[in-house]
Amino acid sequence: MSEDVRSTQQQVWFITGSSRGFGRALVTAALDAGDLVVATARRPEALARELEEYAGRVLTLPLDVTSPDAAHAAIDAALARFGRIDVLVNNAGYANVSPVETSDDDDFRAQFETNFWGVYNVTKAALPTLRRQGSGTVVQFSSIGGRVGGSPGIASYQAAKFAVDGFSRSLAAETAPFGVRVMVVEPSGFATDWAGSSMTVHPVPEAYDETVGAMNRLVRQGTSGGAGDPERAAEIIVRTVRRGPVPSHLLLGVNAVTMALDYSRRQLAEASAWEKVSRSADFAEPYPVELPPQET
């Protein structure tokens, strides 16, 4: 599909986690752009009332993304109403706080069920439609933490976001011949409910106070909130999707850009420093070679 055709054609969006945060902002941004929207949430009743002014252009549906059957049913309902899906947005997700050592296993797994398997379930349910259409854009919400990692206390969430990125890279390679595009969105801190009522902070043992505790006090219990504007972010995503090529990864927010560039520079420096050692593992390469000098 050419950029000109895509930018003027009314598109059908299917958005998970639409009741608040990025999902809610995206629903409004897509509707205000003149598009059609399938807005899904665990409890869509209040959302339906909020969107009454868009009657005829929006369909609200219940969806628990952890259920493959529910994902297929929601996709079928979307197709029955609008006949196609042009933009699939996997936004539903949440994070709870606890050190790995003291994490409740069921809670750790439950987060992964939503944050990764929910993406898998909804994407897989939509793929036959996107393939038959020969077009479509899959927007996968990750975070800058899903690129750089290392945030104490949210290991399940960040592990899932790393998994979403790996999954999406393979998905992009598999579906490119069908005209399907995949874009991973990597925000930094935004003024959403991610660190509010959506998050459960489990007791942090004293031994982890300087890592998990400090991060929780700085980021998740601060009073200033995230620097990012969800409405601006939603408009950027809508504008980006309506053009021709999309970036494989879309950073959103000053901190996201800063952290990504710093991480890439450190990765390159480390790979370069260890290049001879790394190459020496192959049969044809000189061996042994000296390790890089130790930092003092």
Residue numbers annotated as active site? 142, 157, 161
CA–CA gap between residue 74 and residue 63 (Å, rounded): 7
Encoding tokens for residue 124? 């897989």
Burial (0-12, 13-18, 19+ Cβ within 10 Å), 125: buried
- In DSSP terms, 202 is beta-bridged to none
End-to-end C-alpha distance for the chain, whole angstroms: 56
Beta-carbon neighbour count of residue 254 at 10 Å? 12
177 closest CA partner among 213, 134, 137: 134
Question: ∠160-63-154 over CA atoms, to 5°?
Answer: 25
Neighbours of 251 (CB within 10 A): 20
